[in-house]
Structure 1
Amino acid sequence: MQDASILVVDDDPGMLRAVSRILSRRHHRVVEAGGGAAGLEAASVEPFDLAILDIRMPDMNGFELMRALKKDQPGLDVIIMTGNAEDPDENLLRAIDEGAYYFIQKPFDRRVMLALVSRCLELRRLREERERFLDRVGRELEEARQFQLSLLPPPEYAARGLAIAARYQASNELAGDIYDYAETRGGGVSLLIADVAGHGTSAAMVTGVVKAGFRASHVDDFEPCKVVDRIREGIRDFDPGRFVTLCCIRVHPDRDEIEYVNAGHPEAVVFDRGGGVRLLDSTGPILSSALVDFPCEQLTAGFATGESLLLYTDGVTEARGAGVMFGRDRLLEAFQRSGPDGGVRLDAVLDAVRRYAGASARDDDVTLLTLARGGA
């Protein structure tokens, strides 16, 4: 690290000149200070990459000065030096314990001083590069998260005698969950909820494929089996471990029925007007490049006025509190006891999951989607 800015503090003018001469020959900028107060004053004017401090000074010892300097410049690296030959090991341990980079005994060999300074500055350079890299990665991840959010439709929908509410909560990484819905030509809607295995960039890429497959199915009026076929074809070239579970439901209000495909996803739930519960079981395997020849069956079920649907990802039921999963029973209880409004019901579920799982509730993506017919 060339042209570093180095503060040298020592009450011995001869030692100041010697250290300054050694370091200046390596093109470092050296600021000399004859004591602790002068060192603090110099540090108040400009930041330094490294400080070399004598331990024994009349106004402030090197350890006290190091603490004061680091209070204002937490990232400052410090080398402690002393001419006291007593207890060198104890001084070394104290220097390192208090956050110094290293400890050097006077008189020192110039080569040792140069090697120590060079190594310290090189590690500082690598640390700063790492911090810049992590900052860039953080910005890019946030941009990716915002892109993922842009793939989602509005969380509320009300038309055609149907009311939809959705809630999406990503984990601490890029998410693998996605939901979508679209109006169909027959006066109904089609719903999709999907969960891509894993997290991170590759999982986020697959969610884009899922979204594209669903939207491209408008030519087939979002028929569930056609949606699944397009998504399966879209992930054909992905690693088999990057599989997808999903549930796609097309609602036909004019026929009081729904068509659905469940590809290895948690069972969708139908609530009837009397409070009864029906489950829409799996109709086929997960979607994976290893299972392209295994079709999913499309089934039909009744869906009358006053009934509602609930779809969710396993981040809800598998949230853990004290080692035990949240489970479907707690999900249904939280959903049903919160009144008829879909958004309020989903918020109640999310609140129940947070209270049950605590901080671990963010370990996985959580997505919920509900549809009520006739506002019930």
Structure 2
Amino acid sequence: MIYVVDDNELNVELLIDLLTGEGYQVQGFTDPVAALDKVLESPPRLLLLDVVMPELDGITFCQKVKSTLTTFIPVIILTAQNNTEIRHQGLEAGADDYITKPFDRWELLTRVRNFLRTKEMYDQIQEGLARTNQQMALAGQMQMSLFVPAKRPLLGFDYEQLYYPAKYLSGDVIHIHQDPTGRAFFFIADVAGHGVSSSLLAGAVKILVGEVVQNTVRPEEVLTRLNQELCKFLANNDEGYYVTAICALLSGHQLSVSAAGHPPALLSLAGQVQPFGEAGLPLGIMRNQQYRSVEAETVQLDWLLLYTDGLTECVDLEQVAAGRELIELLRGAVSLHAQTKGLSDDVAALFIRRAR
């Protein structure tokens, strides 16, 4: 549907006759206020708009349409004023083109045809994007179910997890494992980059760590073996991919942490919060890299926090308070940041404490 808006009824009838003669569906308006209501309620595929009209001029009309509607509506300004300033005002208001009256029939029909073709291509692109977004959202849901383990009871420990992809797919990985002796292993990784390729590499990391912990849960051994496998996996990588990771093992009152180019853990002992862990080299860069663990007695363990660097975008970890409400504070901060500013990086975190 094409809308024609002009306070001159003869002009409206002329344009309707011309356009319907070419097979277009056209609706005319001589009242610009009523026309604006109709445009906002039921947007046309093309709008032909006069400039000089009572109550609501074409420039203001165009501004309201372009600032209100979220979809693309081509607007052609029709003006009897061969005035450069008027044309500039129309284009600045968002008009896509202008034609000076009296108009040339061939020129008008050609521009109408071209803009309708542009509108059709725009709509096709938007439909394609909507389908892609729907598919990506489904992929994200599937990834979430695979990458974030369903919470299950651990002997002697309780934990909470955060997982917020920046877009639909995430490059962050969480893995939790408890061996038959009761040792609890916690792992977080962050694949460099964003998008589908990073999420696919994250899937490989998830599979690999699940295999490695069947043989060892020593953090330094897990990272060393993961690094060897990833170096083979990325041997022909020209994109510069690598993976940062941190893992922690809680066994009785002993904590072991090993990291690979990752932010340190936060450890609270007897109310004192401190960073814990050494950075090391990211995974997938140097095949013969050996990792080491740092250890601590955890008789007075309050909590342990493992996280990816996306969390630091949302909250100042130096200001966090020790206490059972920490995870709720972090979850609220990330949710608020995502809603107000959006996330430029994926966020994942594991908050671990002894079972009470």
> Shorter-chain TM-score: what band?
0.7 to 0.9
Give me the whole-angstrom Cα distance separating, in 2, the residues matched to 1:359 and 1:48.
32
Give me the whole-angstrom Cα distance separating, in 2, the residues matched to 1:222 and 1:136.
42
Give me the whole-angstrom Cα distance separating, in 2, the residues matched to 1:252 and 1:271.
17
Match of 1:212 among 203, 207, 216: 207
Give yes or no for contact 1:175–1:365 (8 Å, CA) kept in 2.
Answer: yes
Q: Does residue 162 of the first structure (1) align with residue 162 of the second (2)?
A: no
Give yes or no for contact 1:251–1:258 (8 Å, CA) kept in 2.
Answer: yes
Higher deviation after alignment, 92-101 or 34-43: 34-43
Give me the whole-angstrom Cα distance separating, in 2, the residues matched to 1:15 and 1:365.
57
Match of 1:105 among 100, 103, 106: 100
Give yes or no for contact 2:174–2:187 (8 Å, CA) kept in 1.
Answer: yes
Give yes or no for contact 1:306–1:373 (8 Å, CA) kept in 2.
Answer: no
- When residues 207 and 105 of structure 1 are mapped into structure 2, their CA distance, relative to the original with a 3 A threshold, is same
TM-score of the two chains, using structure 1 as the length reference: 0.73
Match of 2:77 among 72, 77, 80: 80
Which structure 2 segments of 5+ residues have no match?
none
Measured against aligned partners, the alpha-carbon deviations of 1:89-123 in whole angstroms (never above 9, x if no partner) come to 34323433444333322222222112221232233
Give me the whole-angstrom Cα distance separating, in 2, the residues matched to 1:267 and 1:164.
18
Which structure 1 segments of 5+ residues have no match?
none
**1:191-202 alignment runs, 5 A limit:** 191-202=186-197
Give me the whole-angstrom Cα distance separating, in 1, the residues matched to 2:39 and 2:265.
64
- When residues 349 and 36 of structure 1 are mapped into structure 2, their CA distance, relative to the original with a 3 A threshold, is closer
Match of 1:266 among 257, 263, 268: 263
Give yes or no for contact 1:174–1:201 (8 Å, CA) kept in 2.
Answer: yes
Q: Secondary structure at the match of 2:262?
A: coil
* Corresponding residue of 2:322: 338
Which letter maps to 2:4?
A: V
Which letter maps to 2:346?
A: D
Give me the whole-angstrom Cα distance separating, in 1, the residues matched to 2:282 and 2:126.
40
The offset of 1:243, in angstroms, is 0.6
Higher deviation after alignment, 39-48 or 306-315: 39-48
**1:28-39 alignment runs, 5 A limit:** 28-32=24-28
The offset of 1:184, in angstroms, is 0.7
Give me the whole-angstrom Cα distance separating, in 1, the residues matched to 2:274 and 2:66.
63
Q: Secondary structure at the match of 1:139?
A: helix
The offset of 1:69, in angstroms, is 7.4
The offset of 1:15, in angstroms, is 4.7
* Corresponding residue of 1:19: 15
Which letter maps to 2:75?
A: V
Give me the whole-angstrom Cα distance separating, in 1, the residues matched to 2:35 and 2:161.
60
TM-score of the two chains, using structure 2 as the length reference: 0.77
Computed over aligned residues only, the root mean square deviation of the Cα atoms, in angstroms, reads 4.1
The offset of 1:208, in angstroms, is 1.4
Percent identity reads: 26
Q: Does residue 279 of the first structure (1) align with residue 273 of the second (2)?
A: no
Give me the whole-angstrom Cα distance separating, in 2, the residues matched to 1:37 and 1:204.
51
* Corresponding residue of 1:297: 291
Higher deviation after alignment, 61-70 or 298-307: 61-70
- When residues 207 and 58 of structure 1 are mapped into structure 2, their CA distance, relative to the original with a 3 A threshold, is closer
Give yes or no for contact 2:255–2:298 (8 Å, CA) kept in 1.
Answer: no
Measured against aligned partners, the alpha-carbon deviations of 1:222-270 in whole angstroms (never above 9, x if no partner) come to 44424652464256334362211112233332xx434543222223344
Give me the whole-angstrom Cα distance separating, in 1, the residues matched to 2:140 and 2:173.
12
The offset of 1:366, in angstroms, is 3.1
The offset of 1:346, in angstroms, is 2.8
Give yes or no for contact 2:77–2:99 (8 Å, CA) kept in 1.
Answer: yes
Give me the whole-angstrom Cα distance separating, in 2, the residues matched to 1:262 and 1:30.
67
The offset of 1:137, in angstroms, is 3.7
Give yes or no for contact 1:262–1:296 (8 Å, CA) kept in 2.
Answer: no
Give yes or no for contact 1:353–1:361 (8 Å, CA) kept in 2.
Answer: no
- When residues 297 and 133 of structure 1 are mapped into structure 2, their CA distance, relative to the original with a 3 A threshold, is same
- When residues 277 and 97 of structure 1 are mapped into structure 2, their CA distance, relative to the original with a 3 A threshold, is closer
Give yes or no for contact 1:270–1:280 (8 Å, CA) kept in 2.
Answer: no
* Corresponding residue of 1:371: 352
Give yes or no for contact 1:164–1:371 (8 Å, CA) kept in 2.
Answer: yes
**1:1-376 alignment runs, 5 A limit:** 5-10=1-6, 15-16=11-12, 18-24=14-20, 26-32=22-28, 47-55=43-51, 75-82=72-79, 84=80, 88-150=83-145, 151-154=147-150, 158-172=153-167, 174-224=169-219, 225-226=221-222, 228-230=224-226, 232-234=228-230, 236-238=232-234, 239=237, 241-253=240-252, 256-273=253-270, 275=272, 277=274, 279-282=276-279, 284-288=280-284, 290-291=285-286, 293-299=287-293, 301-307=295-301, 308-317=303-312, 319=313, 326=316, 330-331=317-318, 334=320, 337-339=321-323, 341=324, 344-349=325-330, 362-373=343-354, 375=356
Give me the whole-angstrom Cα distance separating, in 2, the residues matched to 1:231 and 1:161.
30
Which letter maps to 1:286?
A: P
Give me the whole-angstrom Cα distance separating, in 1, the residues matched to 2:12 and 2:334.
63
Look at both structures and tell me which one has the larger radius of gyration over its CA atoms.
1
Which letter maps to 2:352?
A: L
